[in-house]
Structures are given as structure tokens and as C-alpha cells.
Structure 1
Amino acid sequence: MKLAAAPARLFGLDTLRVLAILVVMLYHLTIFGELPSSILPVTYFGWMGVDLFFVLSGFLIGQQALKPYLTGQQLSIKEFYRRRAYRILPAYLAVLALYVFVPGWREAPRLAPLWKFLTFTMNFGFTFDQRAFSNAWSLCVEEHFYLLLPLLVTLLMRRPSTRKTVAVLASVVLFGIGLRAFLISLHPDDIWTGIYYPSYTRLDGLVTGVALAIVRTFRPTWWDALMQRGHTLFLTGTVCIGSVIWMFRKDDLGSDSGSAMWGVILGLPLLSLGLGLITASSVSKNGLLARIRVPGAETIATLAFSLYLTHKAVAHMVMLRFPQITEPQGPASWLLYAVTCLSAAVLLHILVERPFLRLRDRVTRHKSVSALEDEMREEPAL
């Protein structure tokens, strides 16, 4: 598969997107068996990769929603929804069809009702008894974000106000903190399924990304000042993430008190802040990630959405079909997992994702194919 190179790519964002999908995949592999102790610390906190995806989505999709206003235009809500539909629905529905009509594809026996997947509501009332295609929960959060963002932007841009914008963003974060605290008090034994998955408790990363997009779009002086401090942003973000890792250390995970409780209440916005600072650092010319071009990162970043949709089912089938290779959990098993997951993602990308994105381009008729492919790689949809 030939993936066209785009000029002036932001390599730091590619690296972050690759990091996000890899740690999520490692985290999900723990479902199928014991992993080497040397990588358990990574897999244990691999759920943070989804929060990184949320920050990247808020940042990049937020810029797309805000960009028309720089030239005195208005955001076309219809066009925004149409482009999101072309980007998300074909690959998602293709994989969903496999889960519905090919039971052997599923990594778990039971699937949530089809209507929940079609309406992007399977993340509400989530239960581990119906965990097949459970990774779609984060796509539900993204879809709710895509639904509300253009409406909110259109409303706020009628009478732009810095104070009003800050108040809205702060209100969303404070609402999430208060709601998580309230839900923990009601259901102390249901921290994860009752709080981690619903969209209304998981907006911190998206809000952080949108805040970065607002600063970059409408406050270029502030943004330039940030871009001069790439290393400081990276180090500060790392400290924030390290603090959250301490909150969710293994002994306390799932408890209804102590650091794990405060990790759920306050750690999620702190994690989003840290990931946001690292995201800003990744596009800074003097940031560490912006200076390093990781070999293969551009290709993996392009395949991230397809990988996210297929990796759990593919890994499960590999484990069942090749137990003589996968049960020892050695280099051969890791190589087999990598090859099969990448192969499935490449097929989905070539057969479904890319054709529909090109169809979107033909319908739009104002973007070149090269610009389309560049956008296709950079959008961090889950």
C-alpha cells in the first residue's frame, strides 16, 4: 500500500497518535492472557491512550470547526456532519456488520443490542456481560462530540466573547468533576462501568483539545509564546501524567476511597491537561516530539482508526487459531499479533476507508486528492 507523503507534516502528532493506538492495543491484549512482566506497567495504564485520542480529536477537529471564522465565513453544520459521516461511518459499519453477522469474529460471546451501536449509545449502561466490540464506547463519545461541537461553535460565534468561551469550557470541566463525585457517592462499587464509559463524564480530553484549538486559531500571540516553550510544555505535561499514574497505582485501583477515588474525580482532567501540554509541545518547533521523525509512524497513524476498530477481534482469533504460537507469549506471538492486526487494518483502510474518503472528495469538488489524503492521515478519529 502506498501512502502519499504530505508536505510539512507535524511529525509530533503522528508520534502521539501511534503511541495512543499502541498502548490501547497492548492494554486490550491483557484480556486474552498474561503478558511479559516487562511491559505490564505500560499495559496497566494503556487506557490513557483513549484520553490522548480525545485530546487530539478536540485539537484537530476543533481547528476545522473554527477555521472558517478566520476568513469571515461561518461554519457549515451540514458540511461538517457530512464530512464526519464519510470519515467514520463506512469503516465502523463494515466492522459492526462482522460482529453482527459473523459470531466467530467476536472477541467475546455477547454483543450489546444492535440499536445501541447504530445510535452510538452503547457506552450508556455498559456492562461487561456484553463486552464484544466494547472498544466502540470511545467512538460513541467522539460522535457525541461531533454532534454538539458545531452547534456550540455556531452559537458562541454569533457574539464572540473570550469571557463567555472560557466560562463554557470551565463549566464543562467543573460539571464533569462534580458529576463524577456525585456518581461515586451513589455507586462506590461501580467506579469504572458507571463513570468511565458514559460521554457526560469523559469530556475533559475533548475540552482540553478544543481549548488548544481556540488559542491557536484566535490568539496567535499566546500560541506563539507557547510554541517557544516546547520542552517546558513536555516536562510539565509529563509531571501531570505522572501524578495521575500515582493516583491510579495498582493497589488502589477500583477502590471507593483514597487516591483512586480522587483519580476518578480530579485525575481525569489532570490527565487531559498533561496530554494537552504534550500535544502542544509536539507541534512546537523546539519540542522534543516535533524534532523526531519516527520511522513508520506516518503509516501507523494513517491506519490508527482501522487498527482501533479491528485489533481486539483479530488478536482473539489469532489466539484461538494459533495457540501453539500465542500461548508461550514470546517474540513469535508478538510478531504474529503485529502482522495480523496490521494486515486487517490495511485491508479495511484500502477496501473501505480510502474509497469513501475519495468519494467525499468527489462530492465536495473543492479539494485535491493529495489534500484529502493529508487530512485522512491527520484526523484522529477513533
Structure 2
Amino acid sequence: MASWLAFPDIIAVHVVSALFFKGTDSGFEISMAYKGYLGQPYFASLNGLRFFCILAVLWHHSPVNQLIKSPQLLDRGFVGVDFFFVLSGFLITTLLLREERLTGRISLAGFYSRRALRILPAYLLLVTLVSVYWIGIKGQDLLGLVPYYYTFLANFLKDDISLLSVTWSLSVEEQYYMLWPALLIVMPLSTRLRAGVLAGLIGLFLLTMLGLADWLDLPRLETAYAIFRLPGMSYTAILSGSLVAVLLHDPAGFRWLWRICAWRGAPLALFAGLLLYLQVTPGSLLGWPALGMNMLMALCVASIAMREDHELRPVLTFAPVARVGEISYGLYLYHLIGLHIANEMVSRSGLAQWQAAWAVTLVYPLISIALAEASFRGFERYFLLLRSRSASCAPKAAANR
């Protein structure tokens, strides 16, 4: 069995191979790969990527992570959400561009109906049940927060209802869904223009992270429960995914990214580079460090979407890994409930602090997976069937969604 000490050498070999042999693909081969990419109905490795994203989030909220002094990499499990954003931007933009290519137009009604059937059932169920529990049963004075959750404005809240704090990311995605498809429709069919707009928006949100609103002394809207201001890091991530989707949809952009991302070992090298980046990058990952991370994540997504025979495919398509990735939306929504249940169970066991922390860390993902699986099989799948019927005449470019 190969030693882990040899891992850097393996990465180095792949990087050198990319530098010296990237020119071996002919224009014809790249053209055929591009046609294959456009016709790819399902990206087989993306559920595996979702698995690792949700694994990072679960670790981030685990009691052991809160107690141990770990390497910086292990203290950055929160970036799993940013990777989800990049992936969402890539898939949604790919779906819209392929619909436009095949039908000559983008149907906002079709898009929003598919998104609603995927996102709303589990989300509204969670918000309703948790709100009833904490406000109606526990008697907490939090009723004023509820409308913000139902209208996907949770990312602006000053406070949270317990177990609903993770819904801020769903708010970011829904705001993106409201704006980006409409913006695509009004823009001319120009990859250069669309990529330029995305780059400009990424730059705007980068400046927001760096304090643009304070520099310009911009007014902000504040209510008793929320402060409305330009978000930064989360939008930079989701727009980075959209940018790589726009580039891959264009023959010239695909050809350029092929040289960087499409050799078989590229995912291994890029994911290793991302882990190294997260380990050595100092500070709070805001501003330029966040942009570098988002760009690396976008290249990682491109590397597993451009060709199906990459070297990480066996890991990312391993059945248990892919299944957890498939139900990762529900797992993300319900994992704080799983954590709450595990904490309640272990608190009655009389274990010492470290023992209890490890017990909860090991048990709560299993509870969360069980909740997500039950939700998927017994609730969400009925709406997904309706979604499939509504999309029967639409392109299936993003069947992963």
C-alpha cells in the first residue's frame, strides 16, 4: 500500500504532466469533447462532491471541532457552504444556457416552477415545524423573525430562531435565482459580455467584502429584526460557479479550460491545491483570499464536469458517497435538528465532556442522515416527481439539480 508520504510526489507528477503534455489534445479531440460536454445529461461526480461539502459542514458544527485545537484546514469546515454555492451557480447557469441553446429562449416560469418544487417543500416544512416548536410550544418571543424566513431574507437577520440559523444560505440562493435568470434573458447572446458582467459583479462583491459600503458611507435599511446591506462572500462564490459555466458553454472558453482542467489527474491536483490553500491562507478568508478560494472551487467543479473518466471518479461515484450527496439538501436543512437530538440523548448519559463530545460528533450525522433519508423518501420525492413531469420537455443538462 502506498505511503501517505508519497502523496505530494503523486500531485507533483500530475502537475508536471499537465504542464508538459497539455498540448497533446488535438483541436478535433477538444471539439468532440466539447460536443460531448454539451450533450452530457448528468454529471456523475457532482453528488460525490456534495457529500464532501456536507461532510465539511457537519464537521464544522460538531462538538469535537469546537473543543480541539485543530490545524487551520480542519477549522474551516464552513467553506463547505461556499462550495455548495459554487456548485449551485455552475449547475443553474448550465441549465439555463442549455435551455437557451436548445429552445432559443429561457422560460422563467419553467425555471421557477422546477426550483420551487425542489426547494420549497422541505424548506417550508422545516421553517413551520421549528417555528411552531420554539414559539408555540417553548414560548420564545421570536414571532417577528418568521416572515423573514418565509420570504428568504434570513441572511439579513440580526438574530435567529434556534435550528434555523443555516437557512441564511438558502436565502442567498433564492435571491440569486430571482436575479440571475432574468439578467441572462436581457443580455445579448455574447459569452464575452456575460463573462464580463459576471466578473464585474464578482468584483463588486469583493469590494463589498473589503468595506465598499463603509467607504462610500452608503445608507442601509434597518428594521427591528434585520439589517439590509450588500452581501459579499456568498455572492462571490455563487457567481464564480456561474462564470465557469458560461466559459464552458462557449467553444473558446471550453478549449481554454480544457488545457487547465481536463487531464485525468486534474481533479486530484486541484482539490489537493484547494486543501493546501485553506491550510496556509491566513486571516478570515474575506476579500482576496475568498476570491482565490472561490476560483479554485470553480476549477475543481470544471475538472469533474468536463470529462467523466477523471481519477477521482471512483471515489465520487461510490454508491454510499453519492447517495449522501443526493440527499444533501435535506441533510443540510435537518442537521442542526440531528445535532439537537444527539445532544439531548448524550446529556442524559453521564459521560465526561470529551466522551460526550465524541459521542455526539459520531451520532449526530447518523441521525441527520436518517432524517434526510426519511424526508427524501416520504415527502420530497413526490414533489420531485411533479418536477420531473414539468421538466419533461426541458433540457436535462442539470439533472443533478
TM-score (norm 2): 0.74
- Greater shift after overlay, 232-241 or 306-315? 232-241
* Alignment map for 1:178-193 (pairs within 5 Å): 178-182=207-211
Q: Following the alignment from structure 2 to structure 1, what is the Cα–Cα distance between the partners of residues 334 and 388?
A: 25
* Residue 236 of structure 1: how far off its partner (Å): 4.7
TM-score (norm 1): 0.78
**Cα 1:10–1:45 shift into 2, 3 Å:** same
Say which SS state the counterpart of residue 155 (structure 2) adopts. coil
Q: Following the alignment from structure 1 to structure 2, what is the Cα–Cα distance between the partners of residues 106 and 181?
A: 42
State the match for 1:320 in structure 2. 344
Q: Following the alignment from structure 1 to structure 2, what is the Cα–Cα distance between the partners of residues 34 and 48?
A: 14
Which of 31, 51, 63 is 1:18 aligned to?
51
Aligned length: 344
Question: Structure 1 regions of 5+ residues with no counterpart?
Answer: 1-6, 188-193, 249-258
State the match for 2:333 in structure 1. 309
Aligned residues with identical type, % of pairs: 24
Q: What letter is aligned with 2:184?
A: V
- Greater shift after overlay, 357-366 or 347-356? 357-366
Question: Structure 2 regions of 5+ residues with no counterpart?
Answer: 1-39, 218-225
Asked whether the 8 Å contact 1:92–1:309 carries over to 2, the reply is yes
Q: What letter is aligned with 2:321?
A: A
* Residue 8 of structure 1: how far off its partner (Å): 8.6
* Alignment map for 1:75-86 (pairs within 5 Å): 75-86=106-117
- Greater shift after overlay, 275-284 or 322-331? 322-331
**Cα 1:300–1:116 shift into 2, 3 Å:** same
* Alignment map for 1:215-364 (pairs within 5 Å): 215-219=247-251, 220-232=254-266, 234-236=268-270, 238-239=272-273, 242-248=276-282, 259-260=283-284, 263-283=285-305, 284-285=307-308, 287-292=310-315, 293-325=317-349, 327=353, 328-329=355-356, 332-363=359-390
Say which SS state the counterpart of residue 286 (structure 2) adopts. helix
Q: Following the alignment from structure 1 to structure 2, what is the Cα–Cα distance between the partners of residues 106 and 45?
A: 35
Q: Deviations over 1:271-309 (max 9, x none)?
A: 101111111222334633234333401210111011000
Asked whether the 8 Å contact 1:83–1:360 carries over to 2, the reply is yes
Asked whether the 8 Å contact 2:337–2:368 carries over to 1, the reply is no
Which of 243, 254, 259 is 1:211 aligned to?
243
State the match for 1:254 in structure 2. none
Asked whether the 8 Å contact 1:99–1:105 carries over to 2, the reply is no
Q: Deviations over 1:98-152 (max 9, x none)?
A: 1111129999x7757111001111111x335655411000110110111112101
1:142 is aligned to 2:173: yes
**Cα 1:86–1:20 shift into 2, 3 Å:** same
Over alpha carbons, which structure has the higher Rg? 2
Say which SS state the counterpart of residue 322 (structure 1) adopts. helix
Say which SS state the counterpart of residue 342 (structure 1) adopts. helix
Asked whether the 8 Å contact 1:310–1:344 carries over to 2, the reply is yes
**Cα 1:106–1:133 shift into 2, 3 Å:** farther
**Cα 1:274–1:146 shift into 2, 3 Å:** same
Asked whether the 8 Å contact 1:123–1:140 carries over to 2, the reply is yes
Say which SS state the counterpart of residue 300 (structure 1) adopts. helix
Q: Following the alignment from structure 1 to structure 2, what is the Cα–Cα distance between the partners of residues 34 and 76?
A: 44
Q: What letter is aligned with 2:151?
A: T
**Cα 1:268–1:117 shift into 2, 3 Å:** same
State the match for 1:251 in structure 2. none
Asked whether the 8 Å contact 1:65–1:75 carries over to 2, the reply is yes
Structure with greater contact order relative to length (CA < 8 Å, sep ≥ 6) = 2
Q: Deviations over 1:19-67 (max 9, x none)?
A: 000110111224xx66574867555101100010011101111111110
1:164 is aligned to 2:198: no
Q: What letter is aligned with 1:204?
A: T
Say which SS state the counterpart of residue 288 (structure 1) adopts. coil
Asked whether the 8 Å contact 2:152–2:171 carries over to 1, the reply is yes
Which of 61, 67, 81 is 1:50 aligned to?
81
Asked whether the 8 Å contact 1:75–1:154 carries over to 2, the reply is yes
* Alignment map for 1:30-69 (pairs within 5 Å): 30=63, 37=68, 41=72, 43-69=74-100
1:73 is aligned to 2:104: yes
Asked whether the 8 Å contact 1:21–1:304 carries over to 2, the reply is yes
**Cα 1:223–1:291 shift into 2, 3 Å:** farther
* Residue 366 of structure 1: how far off its partner (Å): 4.2
Which of 167, 181, 206 is 1:177 aligned to?
206
Q: Following the alignment from structure 1 to structure 2, what is the Cα–Cα distance between the partners of residues 184 and 275?
A: 27
- Greater shift after overlay, 126-135 or 265-274? 126-135
Asked whether the 8 Å contact 1:314–1:341 carries over to 2, the reply is yes
State the match for 1:256 in structure 2. none
Asked whether the 8 Å contact 1:27–1:44 carries over to 2, the reply is yes
* Residue 324 of structure 1: how far off its partner (Å): 4.5
**Cα 1:240–1:308 shift into 2, 3 Å:** closer
Q: Following the alignment from structure 1 to structure 2, what is the Cα–Cα distance between the partners of residues 163 and 352?
A: 42
**Cα 1:40–1:321 shift into 2, 3 Å:** farther
